Amino acid sequence: MIHDALFYENVNDKIHCFLCPHNCVIGHDSYGLCTVRGNKGGKLKTINYGEVASVNQDPIEKKPLYHFKPSSMVLSVGSFGCNFACAFCQNYSISQNKAKSEYVSPHKLVEICSSLTNNVGIAFTYNEPTIWYEYVYETSKILKKENPNKSIVLVTDGYIQKKPLEKLLPYVDAMNIDLKSFNDEYYKNICRGRLQPVLETIALASKHCHVEITTLMVNGLNDSMDEIEKISSFIANIDKNIPLHLSRYFPTYKMKQPPTDINVMLSANKKAMEYLNHVYLGNVPNLDNSTYCPECKELLIERSAMNSKLYVDNNSCPKCGFKLNIVF
Ligand code: SF4
C-alpha cells in the first residue's frame, strides 16, 4: 500500500530523499532509483509498505547467519524493489521488478511470528530491507514491544544513511551485510552503488548488534587474493571474530561468465583466515563449514547442509574458555 515515507525534504518543486546514499532528487510523479519511493504531490510516499512478495520459515543458517541463534528457524519476509541493481542478483524478479505481493500489516506479521513455535523472530530479507524502511521499522518496534524475546534480523546491502540506520538499530538483533567488493569501481559498475557508505554501515552496525558479512566472489571480477586480503583486513580491524561468508558465484541475471573456480574459493578461504577467526564458504559442496574454537580448535558447531549440531550452549569454549562471538 502507499504510505508516507520518512527522511526527505522539499527542494523547490522537487523532493530530496536521504534514506540511502543515492540522495535522489525526485520530480513530480516520479520515483527514486529504488523504484518504491516517489514524489506524490510534493510528499514522499513509499509504495511497498506492507507489500509482502515472499514469505518462508527458513533456517537461520540460510541468511546466512552461522553465529546467531544457531539451529533455529526465522520467519523470512521480503517485498519488491532495491537501491542496487547488481548484475548477478539472484532475486532480480523481486528486486528489479514490481513483483506480485499481498498486504500484511505490521500487527498481522507480528501476530504470525508470535504464533509460530519453532521460531526466533523475523528476518527482513530476499529484497533490500532498508528501502522497506517504514514497514521494517514499525514491525520491529511492535515485535520488540509485544514479544521482546523474538529477534529482528536484516539481510542487507548496507546502503543506508547514518541517521535512518541509527533510528532502526535499537530494534535490530543481527545483520548479514553484503560487502560486495573492496573496489569502488566494482560497486559503481556492477551494483550501481558506492563502497564507502557500506563500510560505514558495517562499522556502525557492529557496535550495536551481531554482524556477519557476505561477499559473493565473482569469477575474474572481485576474486583476487589482493581483494580478499583488503576485505578481511577491513573486517579484522573492526573485530576479527566477525564471521565472513565467501559465497561462490554462478551465472545468473545479466552476469554470464562461468562460475568461480573452486580452487580460487579455497585459496580465498585460506587468505581470509590469516586475518579472521571464522570464514565460511557458500555454494561449495562437500566442504567442512563447521565452527571451531579459534584458540584450541575444539569443534563447537557441526554443520552439514542447513543442519547444525551444537557442542556449545554459551559464548565460551567448553574446552579452553575462549570468549566466542556466538549469540544463543
Ligand atoms: S531510498 Fe530510494 S528514493 Fe531514497 S535515495 Fe535511496 S534510491 Fe533514492
**In this predicted model, what pLDDT tens digit does every residue of 15-37 receive, in sequence order?**
999 999 999 999 999 999 999 99
Does position 304 have pLDDT exceeding 90, yes or no?
A: no
What is the length of the chain?
328
pLDDT in the model for residue 99: 87
Nearest CA residue ID for atom 4, ligand 1: 17
23 lines ligand 1 (CB under 6 A): yes
**Whole-number Å distance between alpha carbons of 195 and 179:** 8
**Whole-number Å distance between alpha carbons of 93 and 84:** 13
Element (H, E) at 142: helix 133-146
pLDDT in the model for residue 52: 98
Tens digit of pLDDT for each residue in 59-81?
999 999 999 999 999 999 999 99
Most distant CA pair in the chain, distance: 65
The ligand 1 atom nearest the CA atom of 36: 2
The ligand 1 atom nearest the CA atom of 18: 5
Inter-CA distances, 25 with 14, 83, 275, Å = 6, 14, 41
Q: What is the DSSP letter of 31?
A: B
Pocket test for ligand 1, best of 11, 16, 46, 83 (most atoms within 8 A of CB): 83
Pocket test for ligand 1, best of 19, 82, 132 (most atoms within 8 A of CB): 19
Pocket test for ligand 1, best of 37, 40, 133, 134 (most atoms within 8 A of CB): 37
What is the CA(17)–ligand 1 centre distance, in A? Answer: 6
37 lines ligand 1 (CB under 6 A): yes
What is the CA(230)–ligand 1 centre distance, in A? Answer: 28
**Whole-number Å distance between alpha carbons of 62 and 267:** 23
pLDDT in the model for residue 306: 66
The ligand 1 atom nearest the CA atom of 23: 5
Tens digit of pLDDT for each residue in 227-279?
999 999 999 999 999 999 999 999 999 999 999 999 999 999 999 999 999 99
Pocket test for ligand 1, best of 24, 44, 132 (most atoms within 8 A of CB): 24
What is the CA(72)–ligand 1 centre distance, in A? Answer: 33
pTM score of the predicted model? 0.97
Contacts of 159 (CB under 8 A, 6+ apart): 20, 21, 22, 83, 84, 128, 130, 193, 197, 198, 201
Rounded to an integer, what is the distance from CA 171 to the centroid of its chain?
Answer: 15
- Domains in the chain, please, with CATH? 3-46 (no CATH), 51-289 (3.20.20.70), 290-328 (no CATH)
20 lines ligand 1 (CB under 6 A): yes
**pLDDT averaged over the chain?**
96
Q: What is the number of other CB atoms lying within 10 angstroms of the CB of residue 37?
A: 28
Inter-CA distances, 200 with 68, 113, 116, 239, Å = 22, 31, 35, 14
